[in-house]
Amino acid sequence: MKKLTIIGLLSVCAAGAFAQGTLVFNNSVPNTVVAPIFSPNPANPTVEQTGNSASGFPAGTVVYGGQLIGGSSGAGLNYANGNQFTAQIYALVRVSGAALPFSSLLPVSQYVTTMNSTGTQPGAGFIVQPNLPSTEPGIPNTGYDSDNQVIDNRATVSLAAWYNAGGTITSLAAASAAGVPYGFSTPFNLPGLGEPASVETAANGSPTAATTAKNMIGLTSFSLVSVPEPSTIALGVMGVCAFLARRKK
């Protein structure tokens, strides 16, 4: 929880950082990336499941105990209500080496949306793909310089999701602090980030065509976790203690 709080504070700094590298903010791209998000596993709700199921792309072997999140609209903590769950990209520039841990990543303000709230394609488990402007800032400190020379078009990326309580919980850190369901995908390195035409220029300074945003190849499914609030845990401990005391008498 402390790490998530730190991430939330650092997001203020990230908002003002120079950003260019872009990705396709979509976890349902047929034959490219199919990584739906699941609710907590009822058999073990405090442990996150990660990895693709047989229906993902690429296909995996994970069997999820929870349900696909979204597919309808409504209010309250019901995993079928897609508009009650927020999804956001967390990322950080990565020059080389293995993917960074999630605790090192920062929320990207441009890439935030809700889960699908209709039964039509892409349906439950997938995010609503927002209409991003052509001048989208992308991921901080990635992309190209003014002469179209690569600074670093590679980043470590993760997709996070949480119950937003009707839009009142606006960050992963806040969700963790509130004790509501949240989770995130296994971080992965994404090379070849794109760049909008508004910032991509040739060596002589004249505008050139945009570099296509990169699909999130490497993204895999995950489940949220449901952590009991401290008060609930305390009541449970008190109940056990009372039971043991009674048995002792």
* Beta-strand pair 139-140/19-21: antiparallel
Per-residue confidence (pLDDT) for residue 131, from 0 to 100: 83
Residue 207 has pLDDT above 60, yes or no: no
Per-residue confidence (pLDDT) for residue 156, from 0 to 100: 97
Token couple for 128: 């609503």
Cα gap 217→108, rounded to integer Å: 18
Higher per-residue confidence, 99 vs 240: 99
Per-residue confidence (pLDDT) for residue 118, from 0 to 100: 86
Give residue-wise pLDDT tens across range 146-175.
555 556 689 999 999 999 999 999 999 999
Higher per-residue confidence, 145 vs 172: 172
Q: 114-118, 140-144, 149-153: lowest mean pLDDT where?
A: 149-153
User: Domain coordinates of the chain in residue numbers?
Assistant: 2-248
Per-residue confidence (pLDDT) for residue 130, from 0 to 100: 87
Location of structure tokens 């929870």: 66
Give residue-wise pLDDT tens across range 38-84.
999 999 999 999 999 999 999 999 999 999 999 998 778 899 999 99
Question: Helix/strand/coil (H, E, C) string of the chain?
Answer: CHHHHHHHHHHHHHCCCCEEEEEECCCEECCCEECCEECCCCCCCCCCCECCCCCCECCCCCCCCCCECCCECCCCCCCCEHHHEEEEEEEEECCCCCCCCHHHCEEEEEEEEEECCCCCCCCCCCECCCCCCCCCCCEECCEECCCCCEEECCEEEEEEEEECCCCCCCCHHHHHHHCCCEEECCCEEECCCEECCCCCECCCCCECCCECCEECCCCCCEECECCCCHHHHHHHHHHHHHHHHHHHC
Token couple for 20: 């260019």
Q: What is the pTM (predicted TM-score) of this model?
A: 0.81
Mean pLDDT for the chain overall: 81
Residue 178 has pLDDT above 90, yes or no: yes
